[in-house]
Amino acid sequence: MSPQPSTTGGRQRRLALQYWWRLLPVFYEFCYNTYVDTRQYQVTAIILRSREYGEGNRLITLFTREKGKVLAVAKGVKKPRAKLASALQHFMLGQIHLARGKRFDVITQARVLDPGYGLRADMDAFAYACYFAELVDEAVEERQRNPALFDLLTEAFARLAQGCAPDLLARYVEISLIGMLGYMPELTICAHCRRPLSRLDAEGDPVWPTWLGFSISAGGALCPDCLPAVPGARRIAAGTAQVALLMLTQGLAVLDQLQLSDQLRRELEGTFRDYLEYRLERRLHSVRFLHGFGEAPEAVPVCEALVR
C-alpha cells in the first residue's frame, strides 16, 4: 500500500510559500549581525604606542573612548604608499575603523581629528606625552572602558600642545589618575590616627601645620604627631597635600594660577609619582626620559596662600 500524502505537511508547505517574504527582515538582521556589525566597528581613539609587528605591519595600542585599550594591527603601513601610515602617528586623535581579527583586530581606515603635531614637534612636550601615554597604558587592562580617563588624556594632550607648564600638568594627570583608579590617598585626615590634618581658625579658615608626614603604605598624609610612629614615612610640606587637594577640587583651571617653589614642585613629583608606581606595582620607564630633558622647574616664588 502506497503512503498517502500528509495533509498537514502540504498545508505547511503552502503557508511557507505564501509567507516566506515575511522572514526577510529576520534574515537581513541575522546577516548584518553576523557579517557586518560584529566584524567591523568604529571608535574614537588616541594612539598610545606603535611597534613593528611582522613584515611591513605595525601593532598599534589604541586608547578608545568606547572600548578602552585596544591592540590592533595596521597592515602594510611600512610600504612607501601606505595610506594609513601618515595617519597612524603617535598621539594622533582620530576616528578609527576596525575589523575583528583572530588575535588582534585590524585597522581598516583612519580619519584624523587632531594629528598631534604639537606634541611631536617639541622634545619636551613629546617626553611628557610619552609619559602620559605610558601611564594610561599601564593603568588599564585591555577592553576596560573608561571615558573619564579618555577625556583626561585628550585634555592633557591639548594643554601640553598649548604650552601649559608640563610638570604641573603631569602632577594633575597623576593625581587624577590615582583618583580614577580608586587609590586616592588621605589628604584631609591623618592616615594613621584619622584626626583632621588642619583646624579652623576664628574666621572659619583652615590652618595647616607647616609640615606633615606621608606614608605610601599607610595610604596618605600623616599628622606631625604620627610621623615618627609610621615606618618608612617621609616628611613633606603641608603645601604638597594642599596643592593636590586644589587640583582635585578645581581641576585643570587651577594650574594657571599656581606659583610654586622648586622645592614644592620636586616634593609633589616625588610624593605622587612614588605613590602611583606603588599602586601600579611597576616602575614607569618614561620617567627617565623626562629627567633626560630636565624636569627641574624654573625658580618661581612660593605662593603664600598655599604654603603657610
Residues lying near Zn ion in the complex (CB under 5 A) are found at: 190, 192-193, 223, 226
Give which of 132, 70, 77 is closest to 103, Cα–Cα. 70
Compute the least distance from the CB of residue 153 to Zn ion, in Å. Answer: 36
Compute the least distance from the CB of residue 241 to Zn ion, in Å. Answer: 13
Element (H, E) at 58: strand 58-64
The nearer residue to Zn ion, 160 or 212, going by C-beta atoms, is: 212
The nearer residue to Zn ion, 115 or 219, going by C-beta atoms, is: 219
Compute the least distance from the CB of residue 187 to Zn ion, in Å. Answer: 13
Contact 247, 268 (CB under 8 A): no
Compute the least distance from the CB of residue 137 to Zn ion, in Å. Answer: 36
The nearer residue to Zn ion, 70 or 236, going by C-beta atoms, is: 236
Residue 88 makes CB contacts below 8 A (sequence gap 6+) with 47, 50, 58, 60, 74, 77, 107, 110
The nearer residue to Zn ion, 226 or 260, going by C-beta atoms, is: 226
Give which of 129, 128, 150 is closest to 139, Cα–Cα. 150
Compute the least distance from the CB of residue 190 to Zn ion, in Å. Answer: 3
Give which of 112, 108, 104 is closest to 46, Cα–Cα. 112
> What does DSSP say about strands 105-114 and 68-74: parallel, antiparallel, or unpaired?
parallel
The nearer residue to Zn ion, 175 or 223, going by C-beta atoms, is: 223
Contact 91, 247 (CB under 8 A): no
Q: How many CA atoms lie within 13 A of 166 on its CB side?
A: 24
In the numeric block, the cell 597635600 is attached to 241
The nearer residue to Zn ion, 168 or 190, going by C-beta atoms, is: 190
Compute the least distance from the CB of residue 166 to Zn ion, in Å. Answer: 34
- Other Cβ atoms less than 10 A from the Cβ of 84: the count is 18
| 3-class secondary structure, 6 | coil
